[in-house]
Amino acid sequence: MNPKVDLFLSKAAKWEKEMTLLRSIVLESELTEDYKWMHPCYTLQGKNVVLIHGFKAYCALLFHKGALLKDPEGILIQQTEDVQSARQIRFTDINQIKRQKSTIKTYIKEAIELEKSGKKVVLKKTSDYPVPEEFKKALDENPDLKNAFNALTSGRQRAYLFYFSQAKQSKTRESRIEKSLPTILDGKGMDD
């Protein structure tokens, strides 16, 4: 048991009982308790397998390679359409966790076997993301922008493409692109 997790749970105002029960269930497995991204994280030989976290409306177990789990119960949730690998099992009260304890253990066991197998989630490539016409035009008109964008890591490129593409109106896409130009030209990601 990691003392940082003890501290985390003692400060958890809303989901302390639920997350404490989830912790005890996870600790019945061969996983090692760690504390990453300010949450309890359970690993196998240093590889992240499952994380416990709480939100306003629910707490959850997040399986890092959840997209590869079989999910016979149909309980795994993809947080957003952009999350490629991780999946959650969400809980809204402690009784739900108690009722699903056996199922939770089964999913944890499968996640451990999956990690041992070395299987990886095949992630979309940057080339799989749509490039909005407004950004294509900006890249064609500005060779420095094109060079700077191509020099960014693929993750930073995807973040920009997703951000630009999410705007429904062309005017909004153009505005987002215009505001992002200095950051791209500086070789930085959106959150740098």
Higher-pLDDT residue of 183, 129: 183
- Range 105-115 average pLDDT: 97
- Range 86-107 average pLDDT: 96
Give 5-63 pLDDT, tens digit per residue: 999 999 988 899 999 999 999 999 999 999 999 999 999 999 999 999 999 999 999 99
pTM above 0.95, yes or no: no
Give 134-153 pLDDT, tens digit per residue: 999 999 999 999 999 999 99
**Tokens 């035009």 found at:** 137
User: From CA 139, how far away is CA 28, in angstroms rounded?
Assistant: 53
Handedness of CA 140, 141, 143, 147 (dihedral sign): negative
User: From CA 66, how far away is CA 4, in angstroms rounded?
Assistant: 25
Q: How is residue 101 annotated by DSSP?
A: H
- Tell me how many degrees the CA angle 69-73-75 measures, rounded to the nearest 5: 75
**Please, which residues bridge with residue 117 across strands?**
none
Pick the CATH number of 3-117 from 3.30.70.250, 3.90.1150.200, 3.30.470.20, 1.20.120.1200: 3.90.1150.200
11 and 35 in contact (C-beta within 8 Å)? no
Residue ranges matching CATH 3.90.1150.200 in the chain: 3-117
- Which of helix, strand or coil describes residue 81? coil
pLDDT band with cut points at 50, 70 and 90 for residue 158: confident
What was the pLDDT predicted at 13? 81
User: From CA 109, how far away is CA 127, in angstroms rounded?
Assistant: 35
